[in-house]
Structure 1
């Protein structure tokens, strides 16, 4: 995972994902993982392991897939 990709995920994608996981019926392991990444992401030189990066990408993709559904166009 590049530094840019990590920054984008932690800044744009991770906060709403944390809120969704903590509010929803996610299992304890997922809650723990999401909070761990949020906490470690604040460390200056932290980078996820390849396995963590893969899980992060999958969680973000799953979240984006269920986040909004279709876009509604509003006419004025």
Structure 2
């Protein structure tokens, strides 16, 4: 549940969590897939917050998700 009083850090975590299922489905190695699935599962626990190390790895995985986009994408002019 989103609250208007979220801090920028909390908002960042929510955005990272939003992308974790996509990371899990598109992961190219078992470790990344397992990590993302684990984060999704843990995030459903009441009061759970990722550790700083988990946040750093989530950022890296989400960054990788967008770094390797579709090269055949054509823009509409």
TM-score by structure 1 length? 0.74
Q: Structure 1: how far apart are the matches of 2:46 and 2:11? A: 14
Q: Check the 8 A contact 2:24/2:36 in 1, yes or no.
A: yes
Q: How many residues align?
A: 70
The CA RMSD measured in Å over matched residues stands at 2.1
Distance 1:14 1:67, change over 3 A: farther
Q: Where does structure 1 lack aligned partners over 5 or more consecutive residues?
A: none
Higher-RCO chain (CA-CA 8 Å, sequence separation at least 6): 1
Q: Where does structure 2 lack aligned partners over 5 or more consecutive residues?
A: 1-7
